[in-house]
């Protein structure tokens, strides 16, 4: 039960502060009454879809890759599992292949477009290929990792 409260605290801290390192986050979490290790924080960040993104003025900080609800997160994960065949990263873009001749690329693009986060600038979809454009290579890698995590 404690991990749920701790994760809520982490979400709030990431939303309210510009946190540039796990050590900085560990210090803040510990100040809120928890005793956490780097390994625990790392697991929590992954579970919460909190990733390091590059800021507009340079430098990087932690931000949450958010879907509007848990239901939408599950829907996107299921859609990736059922319809995405592969993903390849090219600098700041991801080329996503879906089931051939299916028009699924457009559907998957719509799901990514519905996201509100700093990792995706936009999408471009054809019949079975989708390009996800990110602001930089680090953000593109994070998006690709999310997709690969849910591939069948």
Q: Which of 110, 137, 136, 132 is nearest to 122 (CA)?
A: 132
* CATH no. of 70-150: 3.30.1360.40
Residue 71 scores a pLDDT above 70: no
According to the model, what pLDDT value does residue 114 have? 75
Mean pLDDT of 120-141: 92
Q: How many helices (H) and strands (E) does the chain have?
A: 6, 6
CB 148 within 8 A of CB 141: no
Q: pTM score, two decimals?
A: 0.57
CATH code of domain 2-48 = 1.10.10.10
Model pLDDT, residue 91 = 95
Ordered by start, the domain boundaries in the chain are 2-48, 70-150
* Per-residue pLDDT band at 66 (split at 50, 70, 90): low
């Amino acid at each position: 039960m404690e991990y749920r409260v701790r994760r809520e605290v982490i979400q709030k801290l990431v939303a309210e502060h510009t946190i540039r390192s796990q050590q900085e986050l560990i210090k803040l979490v510990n100040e809120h009454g928890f005793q956490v290790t780097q390994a625990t924080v790392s697991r929590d960040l992954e579970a919460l879809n909190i990733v390091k993104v590059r800021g507009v003025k340079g430098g990087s900080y932690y931000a949450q890759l958010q879907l509007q609800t848990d239901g939408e997160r599950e829907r996107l994960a299921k859609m990736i599992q059922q319809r995405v065949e592969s993903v390849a990263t090219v600098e700041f873009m991801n080329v996503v292949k879906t089931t051939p001749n299916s028009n699924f690329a457009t559907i998957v693009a719509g799901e990514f477009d519905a996201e509100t986060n700093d990792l995706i600038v936009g999408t471009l979809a054809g019949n079975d290929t989708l390009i996800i454009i990110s602001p930089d290579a680090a953000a593109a890698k994070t998006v690709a990792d999310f997709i690969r995590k849910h591939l069948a």
